[in-house]
Chain A
């Protein structure tokens, strides 16, 4: 079970970075970065998970609710999501301006920035 759970994290992170490296379109690149970033969300939630645990919301619980999962990791995942949204927005705004200046979104064709 652990192998599957943590394997997903490694796979998502690496496939996201692979997408960034091979991307031919800046918007595709930003989406790939979001995929890599979502690996950290999943890792945080998995570290905080406890088998059979319920959400850390203590309202309307049955008589013997059992353990709750880690609320700290969920709060950190929330931070991660917000920062991720901020980064995605900034990068998309940069992509808009790159397209206006260079007329292309293909990173390989952005000659001016390379020389």
Chain B
């Protein structure tokens, strides 16, 4: 199909889509006027029922916990898919970049870059752990904190080199944390069954609202999700880095 024909086809389809979308959006309640009765009820009940202050976390990890279970599995499946897609193919091999001029020493990174990497990565680890563990109290949680934790690895790479990063993030550990995170969610869900309630019921002691340890299973689920997301995003970065750094076409 030529570009012209494709654009014509798109124009027709887009006009139809715009009309349907416009009609659909026009049927929504006007912006900012009201929220659903379900949401109002949860906003009122969640702090008392689950002893949390962040209702978004209570919904993600308790009231709609099974959604988040599948969401976690989607992430796991995507990362597994990316690992498979980016493996060394039959005509490729893994080779660490070799030093072409061994008589010349590699200049160390400038002290400013190195300091920034050390300072920023430790700050990111701290912020990540804070975000994961305070998910039930303030905005944040496993997904957001996990991404912050994984970005600490990226900063180490920026400040040093590939070999150092490989030492920092051994692949088996990352893959294990990915799997432990995903299966940990299921195991915490099973706690509910063992206690005689339904899957993913919040059966752990709820604690005092506003304390760090409160909300029952919500902080535990945040923790396992944080481990999984941090592992997933670190694997993602290392898979894409490997493509440029160590995977080469085999010489014939």
Q: Tell whether, in the assembled complex, residue B35 and residue A48 are in contact, meaning their CB atoms are under 8 Å apart.
A: yes
Q: Tell whether, in the assembled complex, residue B14 and residue A18 are in contact, meaning their CB atoms are under 8 Å apart.
A: yes
Q: Tell whether, in the assembled complex, residue A82 and residue B71 are in contact, meaning their CB atoms are under 8 Å apart.
A: yes
Q: Tell whether, in the assembled complex, residue B86 and residue A82 are in contact, meaning their CB atoms are under 8 Å apart.
A: no
| A 55-99 to B, binary, CB cutoff 8 A, 1 in contact else 0 | 111110000000111111111001101110111011011101100
Residue in chain B with minimal CB distance to A13: B21
Which positions in B face A, CB cutoff 8 Å? 3, 6-7, 10, 14, 17-18, 21-22, 25-26, 28, 30-36, 38-39, 42-43, 46-47, 53-56, 58-60, 64, 67-68, 71, 74-75, 77-79, 81-82, 85-86, 89, 137-139, 143, 210, 236, 239-240, 243
A17 to chain B, nearest CB (A): 7
**In the complex, what residues of A have CB within 8 A of residue B75's CB?**
82, 85-86
Tell me which of A53, A73, A74, A86 contacts B74 (CB under 8 A): A86
Q: Is the interface of B mostly helix, strand, loop or mixed?
A: helix
Q: Tell whether, in the assembled complex, residue B56 and residue A71 are in contact, meaning their CB atoms are under 8 Å apart.
A: yes
Q: Tell whether, in the assembled complex, residue A83 and residue B10 are in contact, meaning their CB atoms are under 8 Å apart.
A: no
User: Bound complex: CA of A28 vs CA of B3, how far in Å?
Assistant: 17
Residue in chain A with minimal CB distance to B34: A50
Summed over the interface, the residue pairs from A and B with CB atoms below 8 Å come to a total of 142
**In the complex, what residues of A have CB within 8 A of residue B43's CB?**
56, 68, 71
User: Bound complex: CA of A94 vs CA of B71, how far in Å?
Assistant: 21
Residue in chain B with minimal CB distance to A49: B32
**In the complex, what residues of A have CB within 8 A of residue B74's CB?**
82-83, 86
Known: A47-B28, A72-B42. A10 touches B55 (CB 8 A): no
Known: A58-B53, A82-B74, A83-B71. A75 touches B59 (CB 8 A): yes
A14 at the interface (CB under 8 A from B): yes
6 sample A-B contacts, Cβ–Cβ < 8 Å, listed by A number = A18-B14, A78-B56, A79-B67, A93-B239, A93-B240, A96-B86
